[in-house]
Amino acid sequence: MIAGMTSLTRILVLGSIAYALAACSGIAFDDDDSAPPRCSVEWSIAPVEGSVVVDLFASAGGDGSRLEPLQTIEEGLDLARTRGDRFLLIAPGTYVGSLSLGPDDDGLALVGCGSETILDAEGAVGIDVSGADGVLLRDLVIENANTGVRIGAGAGAATPVQVNSVDVEDATRLGISVTGTGTRASLSDVNIRGVDVDPAGDALGYGLLAWGISELVAEDVVVRDATRSGVCISDVADFTVRRATVEGTTQFNGLLGRGVQVQAGSSGLLESVTVTGASDAGIFVLEPAGVVVLNSTVTDTLEANIEGAEGRSGVGLAATSGVLVEPAPAPMLLEVRESTFGANARLGVLLEGFGLDATLSDVVLSDNIIPDESTFPVDAPLFQTGATVTVQAGEPAVELTGDELQTLFRGPLPVN
């Protein structure tokens, strides 16, 4: 017994020393050796055994446990791979560098502490997932990346890669990209802000890009201030974008400026999508294999000088088959239901091209600004040429409100 101390006093002193030693690692732990209090929600999915913990402020020589974390994410990845642990828990702090995950990382979960865990990519790719199945990225902030998260090379073919509660800020090429044959990904609660074009000349500037993949599910996604395209889906066999918000997408050097662009035979659903302040088109659909726009709203699309579309920008929804002369190709299907297009600079809806087969139901066109004949060859809030347009029976199927002109279509209109 320490001289002059009662048994109770000695217990309290030793307990204080143990707490101080734990605090030196930068994380204050509960008595049960569980997650640190400020990460308890984020880390609740991870078992104590089978997890590796990284803390930027930990002492050197840690063993990767919650009481003795490692200092770097690279150390944590190496240990997780060696031991087969499938949870890498990243404590608050700003970690500099980029990460690459491959087939050896199947089933690995990288879990941060929300807005307090920041990965600074210093102009490189933030997290690259290539050929790995079942990877989970969660509760992280990625900043200053060329591409925030890159998923490709068939990653998620067996079990989709998941990106949950991740913020990507100030990327200079792509916020999140999902590419490659067989690749599958699921995104939820993702925020992408401020994607600029690549200063090296490879423009892009897209918030979310899905290209040539098998499946994409994106729910509760917010994209703000992207350049050229907020969300671009190209040649995707099966996609669902639900409860997405896209704001302030701008054009660059006369190119694009579209909130959501779906093209190249993609098939899927845009549901509860809100697009505001895009240039050229809020939603642009090219050569759809079968696209449904449901319960969505597009407003305040700006007019911009877009290359190849001079005097034709500022449209809420623009859809085209890309075929302006007959004969028509196989039907390209578009269905628009329960959606509103309002206060767009030129048109609410533009449908054109032979082979485009569009069906509208419960669509509201409100306060779209119709220019005169000298600047746009149309005299109605919805312009149709070449495309087959069917208005579903209903009261009313397409409703005009505000200052819309009362002539709805230019051209023949079949109604079933």
CATH top class, domain 228-416: mainly beta
Judge contact between 91 and 27, C-beta under 8 A: yes
> By C-alpha distance, which of 112, 104, 67 is closest to 86?
104
Question: Residues of the chain with pLDDT > 90: what percent?
Answer: 61
Q: Residue 171 pLDDT > 60, yes or no?
A: yes
Q: Exposure of 212 by Cβ count < 10 A (0-12 exposed, 13-18 middle, 19+ buried)?
A: middle
> Which pLDDT does position 178 carry in this prediction?
98
Instruction: Report domain extents, the chain.
Output: 228-416
- Give the model confidence (pLDDT) of 146-158 as tens digits: 999 999 999 999 9
> Which pLDDT does position 395 carry in this prediction?
41
> Which pLDDT does position 308 carry in this prediction?
59
> Which pLDDT does position 320 carry in this prediction?
87
Percent helix, strand, coil in the chain, to 5, is 10, 45, 45
Judge contact between 185 and 160, C-beta under 8 A: yes
> Which pLDDT does position 389 carry in this prediction?
63
> Which pLDDT does position 390 carry in this prediction?
63
> By C-alpha distance, which of 127, 113, 163, 119 is closest to 143?
119
Q: Residue 3 pLDDT > 60, yes or no?
A: no
| pTM assigned to the model | 0.85
CA angle 208, 209, 215 (to 5 degrees): 105
> Which pLDDT does position 129 carry in this prediction?
98
CA angle 179, 184, 190 (to 5 degrees): 85
- Give the model confidence (pLDDT) of 76-87 as tens digits: 999 999 999 999
> By C-alpha distance, which of 382, 376, 377 is closest to 404?
382
Which token pair is 45? 């999915």
